[in-house]
Amino acid sequence: MKACIGSIEKKGENGQLYADFGLNAFLSRIAEKHPSRDEILFLCIGTDRSTGDSFGPLLGTMLRAQGWPYVVGTLDEPCDAYRVEQAVRAAIAEHAVVIAVDACLGKAQSVGGYLVAEGPLKPGQATGANLPEAGHYSIAGIVNGMSHKPYMTLQTTPLHRVLQMASGLADAIEAAWKDSAKKPTNARYGT
């Protein structure tokens, strides 16, 4: 995990990381706790200058197209290493819930999956960048396998894979909030 571009440093309530097969359940839990789209900010970290690291900006662009009101990091305005510190400060000051998203490198058998956790993610670790932690919740898309040259690996990651992953995550996010809006609440017990 230390080699992930967006590694997840903290574990969930039960002291465990949630694997990619738990993505929908993870998103559903967040949507149930925070059903209003107005209290969510997606911090989509990455750059449009590297195919592997474009996961965040691609997702941010898709979320904006879905109508999410608070998204930092799109193809038009990426939240790259130069903007991430400023964006983290602004996000924390203005929004109740920040979901940080970044690309990462991982085990070959995990490529195409997602690492999710409650707690912040630390962007830029594999490339040696010293960037601030971000998010109340974290999603790291495993865009390629780890190598001894992580920067080059990100540069040569297939764009089709990154597009599929961003699209799949955008669809899962949309579905989680639509499903939470359909669930009845019990005003007496707050559930």
Please tell me the distance from the alpha carbon of residue 102 to that of residue 138, in angstroms, as a whole number.
Answer: 8
Please tell me the distance from the alpha carbon of residue 183 to that of residue 191, in angstroms, as a whole number.
Answer: 10
Please tell me the distance from the alpha carbon of residue 38 to that of residue 48, in angstroms, as a whole number.
Answer: 26
Q: What is the pLDDT along the chain (191 residues), one digit of tens a residue?
A: 322 333 333 344 555 444 445 899 999 999 999 999 999 999 999 999 999 999 999 999 999 999 999 999 999 999 887 777 777 777 666 667 999 999 999 999 999 999 999 999 888 776 677 888 888 999 999 999 998 898 899 999 999 999 999 999 999 999 999 977 666 544 333 43
Angle between helices 23-33 and 159-182 (to 10 degrees): 40
Q: Which pTM value belongs to this model?
A: 0.82
Task: Identify which of 163, 117, 134 has the alpha carbon closest to the alpha carbon of residue 23.
Answer: 117
Task: Identify which of 169, 126, 161 has the alpha carbon closest to the alpha carbon of residue 143.
Answer: 161
What angle (nearest 5°) sits at the alpha carbon of residue 97, between those of residues 91 and 103? 70
Domains of the chain, first to last: 6-178 (3.40.50.1450)
Sequence-separated contacts (24+) of 57-61 with Cβ below 8 Å? 58/162, 58/163, 58/166, 59/101, 59/141, 59/166, 59/169, 59/170, 60/101
* pLDDT at residue 183, as a whole number: 61
* 145 to 31, 65, 94, 109: CA distances (angstroms): 30, 30, 35, 8
